[in-house]
Amino acid sequence: MIVLVAPGQGSQTPGFLTPWISDAGSRALVEQLSDAAGVDLVAHGTTSDADTIRDTAIAQPLIVAAGLVTARALFDRVDRSLIAGVAGHSVGELTAAALAGVVTEADAVSLVTVRARGMAEAAAAEPTGMSAVLGGDEDELLAKLAEFGLEPANFNGGGQIVVAGSLDALARLAAEPPAKARVVPLQVAGAFHTRYMKPAVAALETAAAGVTAADPALSLWTNHDGSIVASGRQYLDLLVQQVASPVRWDKTMESFQAAGITGQIELAPAGALTGLAKRGLKGVPTVAIKTPDDLQAAVDLLQGAAA
């Protein structure tokens, strides 16, 4: 049983779409998704610099488009029925929604554009940030977060929790970390998946209400609590609220294990979720599809599992 996973914001790097759009079909898809997003994803995926694609309003539709392009290329080579299910990390949940048939590709990109703009505006309203906390005791960390006015944003599993809040509070945490923990500041625009993002929820909620949602055609895990969601509308509702609540990727990986997942394939811009799987899904084979050259390894994993 192989699961397909879609990464979240921060996984993009300058020029990462370049090898993908050398294929005419992939380029045409990116151009179509650019129209849906109102953003030139071809330019941002090939020539824009790191600062430009770090902008939330650009990064999120770019990442979703990349995942959809990767999946199309994969399913041109192997039957999609070999995939047992799909999940996305944070903004990757919209990629997952399209791959599971909950929404169309165009609707996924339209929704992510609303999400991205709302989160960018919320982040600009007040200086905030995020830091990764590696190691240490989770209960001790959560107590410190409550004391400092910070919030957990991503429970990534394998001893990694991303926290968020005011810059002063993050600096204090770095100066007074939990025992045996390391605090690493992240280059992000604001405190995503916390109360600071509540202004972004309303606009996305309105946009999602106007989209037709079908029930998933394959197993679809939610970041809310790691469970499999059978209702497309419920999945979208959870996805909307997730903007201002923590991502529980730790529970998602636990659910993968409980479901008997035997392999994981990560869509472009891949790497982050493959790294988390090495700690949270020890012994499970993984493939990170970073460029078209990695597609054959993914095909081999799927065909090997089917055999």
Residue 152's domain is classified under what CATH number?
A: 3.30.70.250
Among the candidates 185, 220, 237, a domain finishes at: 185
Q: Dihedral through CA 88, CA 92, CA 98, CA 104, nearest 10?
A: 160
DSSP three-state, residue 14: coil
95 plus 227 within the same structural domain: yes
Residue-level pLDDT, tens digit, the chain, 307 residues: 899 999 998 889 999 999 999 999 999 999 999 998 999 999 999 999 999 998 999 999 999 999 999 999 999 999 989 999 999 999 999 999 999 999 999 999 999 999 999 999 999 999 999 999 999 999 999 999 999 999 999 999 988 999 999 999 999 999 999 999 999 999 888 999 999 999 999 999 999 999 999 999 999 999 999 999 999 999 999 999 999 999 999 999 999 999 999 999 999 999 999 999 998 898 999 999 999 999 999 999 999 876 6
31 plus 145 within the same structural domain: no
216 plus 296 within the same structural domain: yes
Cα–Cα dist 260/279, whole Å? 17
Predicted confidence at residue 115, as pLDDT, reads: 96
Whether 224 sits among the annotated catalytic residues: the reply is no
Separation of CA 109 from chain center:
14
The one-letter code for the residue type at 220 is L
Taking a C-beta distance cutoff of 8 angstroms, is the pair 187, 54 a contact? yes
> Closest Cα to residue 11, out of 63, 86, 67, 74?
63
The model's pTM is: 0.93
229 plus 293 within the same structural domain: yes
Cα–Cα dist 268/292, whole Å? 10
Residue 244 belongs to domain with CATH number: 3.40.366.10
114 plus 259 within the same structural domain: yes
Q: What are the backbone dihedrals phi and psi of residue 149, each rounded to the nearest 5 degrees, phi first?
A: 80, 25
Predicted confidence at residue 189, as pLDDT, reads: 83
Cα–Cα dist 101/174, whole Å? 42
69 plus 102 within the same structural domain: yes
The residue from 48, 90, 110, 131 that is catalytic is: 90
Residue range of the domain that includes 138: 125-185
Whether 193 sits among the annotated catalytic residues: the reply is yes
109 plus 42 within the same structural domain: yes
Predicted confidence at residue 280, as pLDDT, reads: 87
DSSP three-state, residue 103: coil
Predicted confidence at residue 304, as pLDDT, reads: 84
Two structure tokens written together for 110: 């339209």
Predicted confidence at residue 188, as pLDDT, reads: 85
42 plus 160 within the same structural domain: no
178 plus 287 within the same structural domain: no
59 plus 180 within the same structural domain: no
Among the candidates 138, 167, 185, a domain finishes at: 185
> Closest Cα to residue 117, out of 127, 105, 128, 109?
109
Cα–Cα dist 264/216, whole Å? 19
261 plus 156 within the same structural domain: no
DSSP three-state, residue 130: strand
How many structural domains compose the chain? 2
Among the candidates 185, 210, 228, a domain finishes at: 185
27 plus 172 within the same structural domain: no
Contact residues for 140 (Cβ-Cβ < 8 A; gap 6+): 178, 179
Q: Is 259 exposed, middle or buried (0-12, 13-18, 19+ CB in 10 A)?
A: middle
The residue from 89, 193, 224, 255 that is catalytic is: 193
